[in-house]
Amino acid sequence: MSNFKSIYFENDKLVLINQTLLPIKEEYIFTDDYERISVSIERLEVRGAPAIGIAAAYAFALAFKNISNPDDEYFKKVFNRLASTRPTAVNLFWALERMKKIFIANKQKESLYKILLNEAIRIHNEDIEMCNKMGENGLEIFTGETTVLTHCNTGALATGGSGTAFSVILNGYKNGLVKYVYADETRPLLQGSRLTAFELDKAGIPFSINSDSTAAFLMQKNKIDLVVVGSDRIAVNGDAANKIGTYNLAVLCKHHNIPFYIAAPTSTIDKNCKTGDDITIEFRDKKELNSFKGVQITSEKYNVFAPAFDVTPNELITGIITEKALHKPPYNFSGV
Ligand code: MRU
């Protein structure tokens, strides 16, 4: 487990480490306001597919803290606000649907807030368990001392527990199977060079940060044994959406004959998406590319193309690690 807390619930407040400030500042947001949590998700103060779902579940519960006999209009307002924060990570909608079911079954009860809170805590605890299981199931991908490359951030900051791909790396390291990690910086919001580096450092795992465009060079020089990343939504056929630049890595792996793995809990599988074509891709504000920390770095008048995610087709994925198993192709997640 990590030696810092990224998301927890205490004294009727959700506590989130502000990920936009890491690793320079470790500052926490304390709030019982679902609107403030919605804004945190939008700003990426809390991000990573499972963590977004967990934050939204707590936010949903908090929205009913001081409300007795809530009407359907209020419920819809809360649900739609939280569901509008980010479109790609299906864990958000998965968690909200769970909360909705509990709400519908208990909306007349005086103890509604407590009941909703218990469900949010259950979602959080289940995620911790799923992270541990992914770490265990992922051990199979290592055949000896391994140098791993990863993209974006998939650890304790992105989940309720030890992570998705990060949990696999961490467990591999603890078992003497991971000797070095290369962390893609992950343009433009630097989840790799800020957040994965922060987590690798805290865990004592030897690593380097590299620019995203260095991955091909590293592979050409035989520096990378395998790639493992997370996912924000997996279609039934195994096509997997993840941080923009993930697809590039999968194509590079194919060219260099390097295994390419995804690690994600089953809450990331979307049975409504038959293939990756059905996955909604988030587009981000142009200022995330044309400026840096508020400083304009190119002309404001230029068009910007800023998808936050891409989809890696299943045929490029060597295996998908969930809390249940290491799944091998051909993938069919309709019964998972
Ligand atoms: O935009 P972000 O930082 O929320 O994107 C996160 C990722 O792409 C992660 O790799 C993904 O959520 C899977 S790991 C928890």
Q: What is the pLDDT of residues 172-199, one digit of tens each?
A: 999 999 999 999 999 999 999 999 999 9
CATH of domain 133-327: 3.40.50.10470
Please choose, from the candidates 155, 170, 171, the residue with its C-alpha nearest in 3D space to the C-alpha of residue 48: 155
Q: Do 273 and 235 meet the contact criterion of CB atoms below 8 Å apart?
A: yes
The structure's pTM equals: 0.96
Distance 70 CA to ligand 1 centre (A): 34
Alpha helices in 147-228 (DSSP H): 165-174, 197-203, 215-220
15 token code pair: 């506590």
305 token code pair: 């193309």
Q: What is the DSSP letter of 63?
A: T
Catalytic residues: 232
Residue among 41, 131, 166, 243 to mutate when testing ligand 1 (max atoms within 8 A of CB): 243
Q: Is the peptide bond before 259 cis (omega within 30 degrees of 0)?
A: no
Per-residue pLDDT of the chain (336 residues), as tens digits, is: 457 889 999 999 999 999 999 999 999 999 999 999 999 999 999 999 999 999 999 999 999 999 989 999 999 999 999 999 999 999 999 999 999 999 999 999 999 999 999 999 999 999 999 999 999 999 999 999 999 999 999 999 999 999 999 999 999 999 999 999 999 999 999 999 999 999 999 999 999 999 999 999 999 999 999 999 999 999 999 999 999 999 999 999 999 999 999 999 999 999 999 999 999 999 999 999 999 999 999 999 999 999 999 999 999 999 999 999 999 999 999 998
- Residue 2, pLDDT score: 59
Domain ranges of the chain: 7-131, 133-327
- Residue 3, pLDDT score: 74
Distance 29 CA to ligand 1 centre (A): 20
- Residue 268, pLDDT score: 97
Q: Does the CB atom of residue 196 touch ligand 1 within 6 A? A: no
The reply to whether 133-327 shares the fold of 7-131 is no
CATH level 2 (architecture), domain 7-131: Up-down Bundle (1.20)
Distance of alpha carbon 13 from alpha carbon 10, whole angstroms:
5
Residue among 169, 242, 281 to mutate when testing ligand 1 (max atoms within 8 A of CB): 242
SS3 content of the chain, % helix, strand, coil (to 5): 40, 20, 40
- Residue 256, pLDDT score: 98
* Residue located nearest, by CA, to atom 6 of ligand 1: 48
Distance 190 CA to ligand 1 centre (A): 11
Report the nearest atom of ligand 1 relative to the CA of 282: 1
Count of alpha carbons within 13 angstroms of residue 191, beta-carbon side = 24
